[in-house]
Structure 1
Amino acid sequence: MAGECVAEGPDLKEMGEEELWDLINDNRHRICLGVRPCTLIPYLRQARVLTEMDEDEILSCHNLTNRSMRTSYMLDLLRTQGRNGAVALLESLMIHYPTLYTQVTGRKPSTEPSKFSGLIKYSELTEYLVRAVTGMQKELQEARCEAGRMKARCTTLESEIRQLMEQEEKSRCLHSENEHIRRHLCSLQREVTKLKDEKCDLYMRYTAAIEEKSAVNMRLHDLNLQVYQLQTELQKASTENEYQKRQSLRCASTPATPQLQDEVRSLRCQLAKAEKLNPACQDILAQDLAEAIGSQVELAEQLRCYRGENEQLVREKQELLDQKECLSLQVKQLTLDCNLHQQKSTLIQIQMREVQTERDLAYLSRDEAQAMIARILAEKDTLRSQLVEIQERVFNLQGKHSPREERQSSDEREDGWESRRSSCEESSFPNRRRLCRMDAINPMTSCHSEYEDTAANSIRSRNAEPPSPESIRRREEVLYADSSLETAESDSILEDFVFLPSVGSEDKQTPRLSSSKYTSADRTSAPPFLMRSRPKAIRVNGRVLTISFQGEALLSQLTVLGGNKTGVFVHQVTEGSAANTVGISPGAQIVEVKYQQNKKALRMVLEDSTLEEAVWALSQITGLCHLSLRPKQDDYKLLLQLLQNNETSSGDSFYVRVNMTLPAGPSGTLTVSCNDILHVTNTRPAGIEDSWHASQVHPCQLLDLQSGTVPNYYRAQGLLIRAIEEMSFQIKKSKKAGRVVAQNQQKAVRIVSTGRLGRNRLWVSVEDEQTKSPESGDASAPRSCVTLMPYSLVTPHYPPVCRPVLLLPTVLGRMLDKKLGGWQGFQLCDPEALSSSDHAARLQRSEILEECDQGRNCYTLQSVEKIVAKGIHCVLPLGLDCVRRLHRADIFPIIIFIRQSARSARKLRSKLQRHGQSEEQLLACSRSEEPLLDKLPCLYHSVASDSWCDQTSLLTSLRTIIWEEQKKIVWVEPDLW
């Protein structure tokens, strides 16, 4: 009908190519909006203006996201066919879109065969129309059958919907009961927390009471001793008093005995009678009296002697009794003193154990602080190198855009700059040394003065800090370059560099990850050993002796043991071998090795390498080699003693994060899941090839749990590649079959790669002595590569304060941040208003976490530190970009990702509408941010989409998750990008 309203247009047969395409381009927008390419393509294929490849490109190209773009691209392809393409397009419009044909050409659609184009014969056109009608009839019949099936399906679905509604009612009741139980559980948890606090207070009171009781007992013991001494003195005084009384009574009664008085009276009577008798009787009586008196005197004298002896015996007895009492008193006092000393020794031992525990914690804190200093220095070195490159680009741009009359002066300035910057073009200037921190001001300083004036050169930086480990390594390379290999045996180098303790040999908590692709010496390509993102400074604690000899089949000449924790030592030397001839003996630590391969002088540092890496490195030697050894007999004997006592199986010790799921296998293979933490203790277990001995780590303590074997780095990398291929095949198969993969399925693979750098930092460091460029062991290996990592080296951290909280996806996180920030123990981070100068200064110091849309308002690092200093959780309304900035400041946030599905998004429909968001935006944000979580250098917690029913239950579960995550150890891996 529309064609009747339009005036008759020009004859298309008479129009030329440009006129036809001008006519089509004038109506291009109308054609793109109203035409389906899949409808016109069969006719255009019949007219031979489009090929099968063009059809696939139009319908299957991922860049063409909608129908209008596909139609426009089809018009572009037809334009390349000239007039035939335009005529075929108009004829297809006349057949399938007659109204649009009338609007474009101004002519009524004709039912007669094409007479002006000659592209399709009448018979071919009739055949095409018959096929089209037949196809439409088949489609109509199929549509009717499909409608019948859909009707039956609708009936069954209605019944299922009724059942689901009943089940939903039951589930709603169950959810309400579950919510009631959860609230009750939360209340119980709060009560348990209160009880724990009360228990802690009671324990403190009990401890104070015990201390008071101990003090009272000590005082009571002293008082008992004093009372006992007073009782002893009182008893002694009473005994002496009683003895004195008896002596006084005895002395008073001795001269007045009755017998003597009677004898005296009788003698007096006899004397009186004798006076009356005759003289002869008197003489006899006098003589008898004299004899009686003499005998009496003798008896008195004997009695007096006996009394003296008796008194002496009594005194001796009393003295013995006093000595006995004194000795018993001393025995009791010594017994009490012995008990007191035992108690004191017990308390001292307990205090010593507490002091040892505090000392270990202090050592651990010191090691963490030293690791932080080393990381800060590494970042500063990286920033300095980036600054050099940026300044070089600025000078180049200034040289290109400057006027011709100033080109000569600018070239002179560029030449002056190139003389001061680091030698990045080593192919053009092979003799120019790389820019060091000490040469940034005075590049003319010689290597010798640089080494002798270490203290002076170390303070040339802007800040007063010790030299970085990279600077120390470069200084040692200069020393090695100056010393000749021929006189190395006689002239040992005394390494007395200023050294950071953070990378010292005592740092046992900083592991080093390594792996070996190969275990035999006949394999020439280098394995992807795991190493630090930055080479450690060489720890030199004594004299290093470099020995040159023929190292053909070096592993048959000597055997090694040890690892990254203890160092690699020479264990046995074969008698009569070249190593034995030059004087290599057991107990020497292998510091580094130099050798030639493919006419290149290569160098590998083995001071902190694992046993597997050291064995692989020594197996690469095929000729003259130079071993740098350090005698460390004490450490070697200690390692042998530990191995003999079965306290350790090797000298390896480091922690890794697993990036894939490994099922259980034969002979004690450990079952691990993606993102598990393992403690590797032996990289070459006895009797097991291509495997490591490792243990699972407790999430909250640095304790080893179940142990077993896992594939080494090279074999695990092959399993990772195979798992990725199987996953891609399953995804393609599920897409073809129309199935959808479950979102809450456990992650099986975490894609982590090393980045496209000139040197792969996860491969063994083999440095070319001529060009000083690290290679991967294979001279033909490309300089730019991406390596998949089955294991990532991690380091434990123990945050002393409450960790910040980051909720993802960001659309949902913005909704929950205010709710979470209003709880006790949580506070929402607020932006700060900064001036332009302050903003630029903080941006240069990387203290701005994220910028707001409103002027100069920014979320800064200082605002987070203020909230964390209060001992509460800081709720971060930020994105994933803030995680690495917080890690640089030793702040490790709790990252919680809430998975989303269409069903879970419907639960938040009202909340999303209130915040101006939609369900599609929430799902799109979740799909875009979930792949970025694997790029983070730390672990995160994932919440399943079906584990919560509404916003209240989600917030309750989030609080429980935060409480659990706060107790865990934070494992951080080096940032490889």
Structure 2
Amino acid sequence: MSEECVPEGLDLKERCEEELWELINDNRHRISLGVQPCNLIPYLRQARVLSEMDQDEILSCHNLTNRSMRTSYMLDLLRTQGRNGAVALLESLMIHYPILYTHVTGQKPSTEPSGFSGLIKYSELTEYLVRAVTGMQKELQQARCEAGRMSARCASLESEIGQIMAQEEKSRCLQSENERLRRHLFSLQHDVTKLKDEKCDLYMRYTAAIEEKSAVNMRLHDLNLQVYQLQTELQKAKKESEFQQRRSLRRASQPAYPRLQEGVGSLPCQLVKAGRDILAQDLAEAIDSHAELAEQLRCYREENEKVFNENKGLLDQKECLSLQVQQLTLDCNLHQQKSTVIQNQIRELQAERDQAYLSRNEAQSVIARVLAEKDTLRCQLVELQERVFSLQANHNSRRQQSCDESEAEWESPRSSFEDSTIRPRRRLCRMDAVNPISMSASNSECEDPTAGSVRSNIADPPGLESLRRREEELHADSSLEKAETDSLTDSFEFILHVGNEDEHTPRLSPATVSSPDGLSRTTPPPFLMRSRPKALRVNARVLSFSFQGEALLSQLAVVGGNKTGVFVHQVTEGSAAHTVGISPGAQIVEVKYEHNQKALQMVLEDSTLEEALWALGQVTGLCNLSLRHRQDDYEVLLQKLKSSQTSSGDSFYVRVNMSFPAGPNGSLAVSCNDILHVTNTRPINSEDSWHASQVHPCQLLALKSGTVPNYYRAQRLLIRIIEEMSFQTKKSQKNKEKAVRIVSTGRQGRNPLWVSVEDEKTLESGDSSASKTCMSLMPYTLVTPHYPPICRPVLLLPTVLGRILDKKLEGWQGFQLCEPEMLNASEHGARLQRSEILEECEQGGNCCYTLQSVNKVMKKGIHCVLPLGLDCVRRLHRAQIFPIIIFIGQSARSARKLRAKLHRHSQSEEQLLACSRSEEPLLDKLPCLYHSVTPDSWCDQASLLTSLRTIIREEQQKIVWVEPDLW
């Protein structure tokens, strides 16, 4: 029908707008069914009949549900463009759908579009591409230059920033040191003020004692007066009694007179005796009060002298600190002066280097000029020699002509001379040792006086800096060209593949792109570069699901542990978890929920199975579950569980801090300081137990397996044991082995082995004060295995005995005593800041034991004997050095065995026992195991040294188990 409507020879240019659109509308149904808009839109965009907004609306509108509707909507938009829209549509059909074009117009498609729509013709496309490539190359060159300048500027700024940061760090260190010294000075001043106050109190008390003494003297005086008055009254009473006796003798009868006389005689004796008793008692009280006052006065004087000596010592320390501050200030000024002098010397060296380069260039130019003059003189010499040869040849020829017999012999030298006259020698000249093509580059490089060049035509060889710069430039150019080629190829493939979505449309290949010179090339032109990078697919991303988590453990079941991760194992059909799309094989990373109007967050990425079940059981109401898809790891875990290779995904090591005997149902007997490998925190039919096995001391091998109480049950047992121990007598405790190791932590949470559960607001604010408000007794502590080096250091305790035995160990083969180092003030401060100083020496100064001295001995492959205390253990652990700690228990009997050695080193038995009693409780605070030697296991010093050698050899082969920091 189309062929009947449109004559065979009628051209589209001759048709008007209405005729063209009537022709298109007659075939609108066929066009809507057979045309894909994404194939025609690029051509229509180039013909400027569709805009970018039209393209987005056609391809992305939700109302256009199928391809026919999108094509029909595109025809409506082209109808608004009039004749240009109709012509552009027909030309695009002629290019992409030639059969449909023939059905619509009744004409065969031509090999070249009409050009009516303003498109670029095929003949002009090559020229257009060349111009575009040239422009883009110029822009690329400019961008490279700008990038080079910016990179240089960035490098200079980075160097300046580094210098500024270094200066800032130095100033910060000096400020911190100054602040520390100021704080120390303030504390000393506070102590001095406190001592002054105490001294004033002592003076006041002394004054009060003097006043009390004077009051006692006054009381004594009053008592003496009272005694005198009593004596006077007694005498008066005697006289009165005598007078009354005389009167009574006169009146009394003779039988009553003896009794009266006896009573009157006994009365003065009684009065005298009572007075004497009162005076003696008062005198004794006065003497006692005098003695007490004298004793208090003596104590006050001793305390005053002690305070005076302490004040004097503090003043001396203050003077020492002020001297150290002055010394540090002088050292700082000296370092600044040294740095200034070094910088000045560097500037002078740079100036001398530049002057040497200039002198070298001048010398090279002079040498070149002299060589040129020599070449000229050599040329002149060659010309003169040629003239001499020619004159000699003429002379010989004249002399030979007179001789006819030698005519045959004349021809050969004549021909040779004629050849020499015909072909004179080539003039000598000095040739350049480089390619003439690179002369321009070499000349430009020779202008730089600071560096030589391999392309230079000067007589001296090129410098090393020039060779290095040339190699870097060539390497940078090759790498840049390779990167540009790869990026252009990648971007070209991206654009071509995006534009050709129809499987019937032929796709272009980078190998088919041709260059303007007609040669094939595999890299696309630079204007086809992609504007954004390729999108990468992330396989291990975390997805969050929000749903009602009431009775969450009834909605889903979990498996796994801290080693493999906690996975969703089963999901109840119809539950809220199943509705939101949670499926088995997903790892639970995090759970969030609200409790008492607080948002709680629990991270379960590295949690045990017991912790995960407890955390999921706490969820009430709306919860947010973060999951990570790890189907392959989940299937591997299921295979191991089915084959009984493992019972769960838990695996961690703990140190036991208590002892409990074996029980029923396969309970494991454990002693204090044993190492256990926990492999299941929720065994079957036992919710309050763990499945664990004892670890071999030298290898990570399981010895005896069984169940042990979990953390909470073990904590209750530990509290019960401590309560029982508090009621036991000291005598019963001496005969028992150690059953409890008291370990506490300041970390807040239900279980110190677990990840802490905290409020999200607390996590965001970073307030850590709440985590330090309580302490928790720990029946188990986490430990990690460390394999010791060839020879571990040796630390003997108690320190009083260790100082004696260290000298003995130093004489053994394979042992060496750690020697102290004498450091200056600046080096001492730097090493102290880096925590490299283990302990200060007793003689004071800057002599101390350092990590470097220990490492120096260990590198020799021998044991380093440490004459240090317990404070060095944690410092050594931070440096990954794990010493052998041996504690030699002491008793009164064992101390008597070492009496001679102790007296030889100015020590006593009481000091040894006191040191042992003070250091033994500190051993439980160590983050590692130690070996204890009982007092009854050795009889003399020789047997003790023999047992020490055996212990060191056994401890060297063991694994070192280290606890983390619990505070």
TM-based fold match above 0.5: no
Higher relative contact order (CA 8 A, sep 6+): 1
- Which structure has the larger Rg over C-alpha atoms? 2
Report the TM-score when normalising by structure 2.
0.45
